């Protein structure tokens, strides 16, 4: 798995388990983003600000992707919701539940 190389070592087993679970729920599930450099985050943020991509996208320095603590997964909505219940039960944060922020990013999982 090349996507997991940038994930913090202590979190890697949990993210791997999450992806395996998602792939059992939706065999087509795939990680679309994991660790990002600050430059990559800045590029994505600028594109989002210009309306060139869906979001939300966190400003550089505020994204958990930059710290190896987040992944984005392309999967069916039902698979994302089901996996999110497990993820949140072990202390993770799912982008569909950024409580109180008004942001909704169902492909995003962070720790």
- pLDDT (tens digit per residue) in 28-76: 999 999 999 999 999 999 999 999 988 788 899 999 999 999 999 999 9
Write the CA distances from 16 to 30, 50, 55, 59, 71, integer angstroms: 12, 33, 24, 26, 10
CA dihedral 47, 53, 58, 61 (to 10 degrees): -40
pTM for this structure? 0.91
Q: What is the pLDDT of residue 107?
A: 95
Q: In the chain, what are the domains?
A: 3-110 (3.30.1380.10)
């Amino acid at each position: 798995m090349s996507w997991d190389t940038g994930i913090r070592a202590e979190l890697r087993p949990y993210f791997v388990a999450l992806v395996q679970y998602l792939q059992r729920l939706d065999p087509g599930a795939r990680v679309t983003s994991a660790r990002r450099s600050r430059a990559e985050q800045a590029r994505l943020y600028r594109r989002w600000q210009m309306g060139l991509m869906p979001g939300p996208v966190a400003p550089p320095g505020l994204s958990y992707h930059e710290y190896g603590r987040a992944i984005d997964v392309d999967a069916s909505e039902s698979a994302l919701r089901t996996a999110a219940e497990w993820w949140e039960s072990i202390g993770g944060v799912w982008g569909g539940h950024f409580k109180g922020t008004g942001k909704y990013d169902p492909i995003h999982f962070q720790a």
